[in-house]
């Protein structure tokens, strides 16, 4: 029978020590920012009822039409592995009675999402999102703070050439006129659109503006701009946001064709990318906007809200590319524990636990018998000291402490070796 060489499913990936260290650093920095701004952490289920994404994210979006991992349970429920987390946050807000809390209700999260999309640079079918959501306040200063949070977080992670793009896509009061003008324009150009966008034109013409195909990009360059159709409220809201961004000294550009790929957005939308060749290949590092209608759409009261999310893998990939770090570093330790003989193994095992309790980073070869092999491992791990217990040392309750760089060594009582090492390390 042929041996199976199992691999990860397409679009899935392993995370190694170096990746997880970066994940931990990002989470630590995010928590520090969250604590300052008063965000509380939330974890929603990975599985949600499919309807919250169909209603919230939008039936005509690529996420719902093509990318969701959905299933029917034995009980007949239709569930979906979350492709994003915002609808789950809103569901929790409604279900948990958070509308009675002081406003804004500020929540942040970090966790896995799942989308069945074509794997490419920075895009995986299982990926992690870090997000900040503020619910209950409609003022544009909330939008500015949301952008400031992601901009500051990326800056603190070492990104210098950040590009912030913003747009206002209006609301139910003014989007109708823009939608009509855009539809008329795109119908006249429909033969030049990709196959997907010809379908989008019938269902949701704003989605054409989000297409990354070259032929569609050429069409949308001359399309009507939503900014020309804004009502007074949306126009003032956007003007206020830009003034706040200028006060914060956050460099931005207005991208009149930025719409994001989700139906629930209203008014402000934004994206942040690294303005380098590698960064542009990865796509946006963070993005979001205002979603003033989503809470009501999912069964709650009319509630303004704003938030954003960051793709953690994209950020980590760019950090690794910038630092040229390896996935797996060579191991290292302060001391390496060596033993020869069965009694010595028993003594070494107990000492190994004592070294752990003393927070001394220790390598070991307790499964090995050869002295030379264990010394070789100590060299590979760049140990500063080797602790050697042979048959004689085991009987005398002693340890040979050998300085690896100089070769100097001395015998130390086993119950005094921790104190001896702490004076040297």
3 state SS for 48-106: EEHHHHHHHCCCCCHHHHHHCEEEECCCCCEEEECCCCHHHHHHHHHHCCHHHCCCCEE
What does pLDDT average to over the chain? 91
Q: Is 232 helix (H, G, I), strand (E, B) or coil?
A: helix
pLDDT at 212 over 80: no
Q: Is 349 helix (H, G, I), strand (E, B) or coil?
A: helix
Q: What is the pLDDT, as a whole number, of residue 425?
A: 80
Q: What is the pLDDT, as a whole number, of residue 328?
A: 46
Query: Hey, how many other C-beta atoms are within 10 angstroms of the C-beta on 125?
Result: 20
Q: What is the pLDDT, as a whole number, of residue 222?
A: 84
Query: Given this structure, which CATH class describes domain 335-422?
Result: alpha beta
Q: How confident is the model at residue 187 (pLDDT cuts 50, 70, 90)?
A: confident
- Over residues 175-179, the mean pLDDT reads 87
pLDDT at 329 over 60: no
Q: What is the pLDDT, as a whole number, of residue 216?
A: 84
Q: What is the pLDDT, as a whole number, of residue 364?
A: 93
Q: How confident is the model at residue 60 (pLDDT cuts 50, 70, 90)?
A: low
Report domain extents, the chain.
Answer: 17-174+230-323, 335-422
pLDDT at 200 over 70: yes
Using one digit for the tens of pLDDT, what is the confidence trace for 92-149?
999 999 999 999 999 999 999 999 988 776 689 999 999 999 999 999 999 999 999 9
pLDDT at 178 over 90: no
Q: What is the pLDDT, as a whole number, of residue 324?
A: 65
Q: How confident is the model at residue 221 (pLDDT cuts 50, 70, 90)?
A: confident
**What stretch of H or E contains 274?**
strand 266-274
pLDDT at 1 over 70: no
- Over residues 175-187, the mean pLDDT reads 87
DSSP 327: S
pLDDT at 3 over 70: no
CB 128 within 8 A of CB 110: yes
Looking at domain 17-174+230-323, does it have CATH number 3.30.930.10?
yes
| Alpha carbons 222 and 214: distance in angstroms, whole number | 14
Q: List, as one string, the DSSP characters of 103-170.
A: SSEEEEEEEEEE-----BTTB-SEEEEEEEEEES---HHHHHHHHHHHHHHHHHTT--SEEEEEEE--
What does the block give as tokens for 85? 């987390």
pLDDT at 183 over 90: no
Residue with tokens 């039409």: 65
Query: Hey, how many other C-beta atoms are within 10 angstroms of the C-beta on 218?
Result: 12
Q: Which is more confident, 272 or 56?
A: 272
What does the block give as tokens for 188? 């006249």
Q: Is 412 helix (H, G, I), strand (E, B) or coil?
A: strand
| Alpha carbons 210 and 260: distance in angstroms, whole number | 6
pLDDT at 197 over 80: yes
Using one digit for the tens of pLDDT, what is the confidence trace for 351-388?
999 999 999 999 998 999 999 999 999 999 999 999 99
| Alpha carbons 60 and 171: distance in angstroms, whole number | 18
Residue with tokens 């409609």: 138
């Amino acid at each position: 029978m042929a041996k199976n060489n199992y691999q990860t499913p397409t679009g899935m990936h392993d995370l190694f020590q170096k990746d997880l260290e970066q994940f931990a650093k990002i989470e630590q920095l995010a928590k520090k920012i969250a604590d300052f701004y008063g965000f509380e952490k939330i974890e929603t289920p990975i599985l949600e009822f499919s309807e919250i994404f169909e209603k919230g994210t939008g039936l005509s979006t690529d996420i719902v039409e093509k990318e969701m991992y959905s299933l029917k349970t034995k009980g007949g429920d239709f569930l979906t592995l979350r492709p994003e987390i915002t609808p789950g946050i809103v569901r929790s807000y409604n279900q948990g009675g958070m509308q009675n809390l002081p406003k804004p209700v500020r929540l942040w999260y970090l966790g896995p999402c799942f989308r069945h999309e074509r794997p490419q640079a920075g895009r995986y079918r299982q990926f992690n999102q870090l997000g900040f959501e503020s619910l209950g306040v409609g003022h544009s200063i909330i939008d500015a703070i949301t952008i400031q949070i992601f901009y500051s977080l990326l800056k603190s992670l070492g990104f210098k050439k950040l590009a912030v793009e913003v747009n206002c896509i209006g609301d139910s009061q003014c989007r109708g006129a823009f939608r009509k003008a855009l539809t008329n324009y795109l119908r006249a150009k429909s033969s030049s659109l990709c196959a997907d966008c010809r379908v989008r034109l019938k269902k949701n013409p704003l989605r054409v503006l989000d297409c990354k195909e070259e032929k569609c990009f050429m069409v949308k360059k001359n399309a009507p701009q939503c900014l020309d159709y804004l009502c007074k409220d949306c126009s003032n809201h956007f003007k206020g946001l830009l003034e706040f961004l200028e006060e914060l000294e956050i460099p931005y550009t207005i991208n009149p064709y930025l719409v994001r790929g989700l139906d629930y957005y209203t008014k402000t939308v934004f994206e942040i990318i690294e303005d380098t060749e590698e960064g542009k290949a990865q796509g946006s590092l963070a993005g979001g906007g205002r979603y003033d209608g989503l809470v009501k759409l999912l069964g709650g009261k009319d509630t303004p809200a704003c938030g954003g999310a960051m793709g953690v893998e994209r950020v980590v990939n760019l950090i690794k590319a910038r630092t040229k770090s390896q996935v797996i570093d060579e191991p290292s330790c302060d001391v390496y524990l060596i033993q020869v003989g069965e009694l010595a193994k028993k003594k070494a095992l107990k000492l190994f636990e004592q070294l752990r309790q003393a927070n001394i980073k220790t390598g070991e070869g307790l499964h090995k018998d050869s002295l030379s092999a264990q010394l070789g491992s100590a060299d590979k791990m760049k140990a500063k000291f080797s602790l050697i217990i042979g048959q004689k040392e085991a009987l005398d309750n002693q340890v040979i402490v050998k300085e690896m760089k100089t070769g100097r060594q001395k015998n130390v009582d086993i119950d005094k070796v921790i104190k001896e090492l702490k004076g040297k390390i």
